[in-house]
A and B are shown apart, each in its own frame.
Chain A
């Protein structure tokens, strides 16, 4: 396998897995706009009216990024990096403020509060987007490469959900009554 084919394959795996994560998060958030708007507002980074607008714009932008990641272009990676950078900034800001008990809103109500693990997870997604940005794209893909890309992406997406579930479990087991605190 030549170097170019290897880096293309790595790039495709990043693009496909991040696209799936974005698309699933967007669909989840769009199922209940009101609750998602409430979650965005609870981050307290913008006035109420702006939070409502942000809650209406973020899920479609995520969908757009997911779609753009699947075509040979750098636009998807760029948009994805912008989105992830602003999400992570909002999370870091609220951790710094000590407001860790708010719902992270990672795709609607997630039951997951803010934590350093979340920042780490987002850093992982951003690393994937940097790879997606820096690797060559092609209009066509060979048979064996396609199988490898699909399998690796499926494994990464499942790992992403497992990591989320584990973080949620840790949060619930750590302080059982934390959910009832205001």
Chain B
């Protein structure tokens, strides 16, 4: 083997090793980014605060009948704000289904959105959302100052807002219900409290 060929082989070895190192570093940066994102549902400081009385609305449901939103009914209510064009919302629908099944003795799940009636009716039928009340109201979204989706608000049995936030996965939805049980506004507040101690 000539010196030139040997040098070529060595260059290839170092080249491939370097490219793999770049790949590994890029992946580590990506994983690091996922780790530093908030673990709980992110609350935004808009709209009625946690602990305050929820605005009360009586709205027609797409499935027929009327739904009272935010009232003191003796049961908890999970308001889930969604849109037919949001893929994360679609991902969370099966999770909401199992949640409303498991917690059906204490919790009502209500889906809320606004926009074109026909588009929502098609979405409602396609995704088979019949088990849920589904309301369309711009005023409801305005009252809670919803700016990003999917957003969830938990209203307690006494009609007080017990937790709310932007939710992207099952853990974040559950974090809202756990926050309600523990009497803290959000996981962020809980962490802030425990860090102060």
* In the complex, per-residue mask of B5-22: 1 if CB is within 8 Å of any chain A CB, else 0: 100110010011001101
Residue B188 CB within 8 A of the other chain: no
Contact between chains at A173 and B33 (CB < 8 Å): yes
- Chain A residue with Cβ nearest B27: A165
Binds A, one of B63-71, B84-92, B94-102, B153-161: B84-92
Given A177-B148, A180-B149, do A38 and B26 touch, yes or no (CB 8 Å)? no
Structural contact, B148 and A165, CB atoms closer than 8 A? no
Residues of B whose CB lies within 8 Å of any CB of A are: 5, 8-9, 12, 15-16, 19-20, 22-23, 26-27, 29-30, 33, 37, 42, 83, 85-90, 148-150, 166, 168
A140 within 8 Å of B by Cβ? no
* Selected A-B contacts with CB under 8 Å, 11 pairs: A147-B9, A148-B12, A152-B12, A165-B27, A169-B29, A169-B30, A176-B37, A179-B88, A180-B148, A181-B149, A182-B148
Q: How many angstroms from the CA of A179 to the CA of B88 in the assembled complex?
A: 9
A162 contacts the other chain (CB 8 A):
yes
Contact of A161 among B8, B23, B86, B148 (CB under 8 A): B23
Q: Is the beta-carbon distance between B19 and A159 smaller than 8 angstroms?
A: yes
Give the distance to chain B from A167, nearest Cβ to Cβ, in Å: 9
**In the complex, which of the residues B22, B33, B83, B85 contacts A172, with contact meaning CB atoms closer than 8 Å?**
B33
Give Cα A159–Cα B150 distance, bound, in whole angstroms: 36
> Residue of B at shortest CB range from A181?
B148
Residues A150-180 near B (CB distance < 8 A): 151-152, 154-155, 158-159, 161-162, 165-166, 168-169, 172-173, 176-177, 179-180
Q: Roughly how many angstroms separate A142 CA and B30 CA in the complex, as a whole number?
A: 40
Q: Which residues of A contact B86 (CB under 8 A)?
A: 181-182
CA distance A16 to B124 in the complex (A): 47
When chains A and B are docked, how far (Å) is the Cα of A155 from the Cα of B168?
A: 36
> Known contacts A165-B30, A172-B33: does B23 contact A154 (CB below 8 Å)?
no
**Chain A nearest CB, measured from B97 CB (Å):** 17
A96 at the interface (CB under 8 A from B): no
- Which one of B5, B89, B150 lies within 8 Å of A144 (CB-CB)? B5
Beyond A155-B16, A158-B20, A162-B23, whether A180 also contacts B88 by CB under 8 A is yes
Q: A165-B30, A182-B85 are in contact. List 13 more A-B contacts (CB 8 A).
A: A42-B87, A103-B87, A147-B12, A148-B12, A154-B16, A158-B19, A159-B19, A177-B42, A179-B168, A180-B148, A181-B148, A182-B148, A182-B149
Say whether chain A's binding surface is mostly helix, strand, loop, or mixed: helix
Q: How large is the interface on A (under 10, 10 to 19, 20 to 34, 35 or more residues)?
A: 20 to 34
Give Cα distance in the complex from A54 to B23, angstroms. Answer: 31
Query: Closest CB-CB distance, A109 to chain B, in whole Å?
Result: 10
State A61–B85 Cα separation when bound (angstroms).
29
Bound complex: CA of A179 vs CA of B148, how far in Å?
10
User: Given the complex of chains A and B, what is the CA–CA distance between A181 and B89 in angstroms?
Assistant: 10
Residues A169 and B15 in contact in the complex (CB < 8 Å), given A38-B87, A177-B148: no
Complex Cα spacing A181 to B33, Å: 18
Bound complex: CA A81 to CA B150 (Å):
39
Contacts of B27 in A (CB 8 A): 165
* CB-CB under 8 A for A151 and B16, given A161-B23, A179-B88: yes
CB distance B16 to A162 under 8 Å?
no
Given contacts A158-B23, A179-B168, A180-B168, contact A168 B16 (CB under 8 A): no
Contact between chains at B15 and A155 (CB < 8 Å): yes
Given contacts A169-B30, A172-B30, A180-B148, contact A155 B19 (CB under 8 A): yes
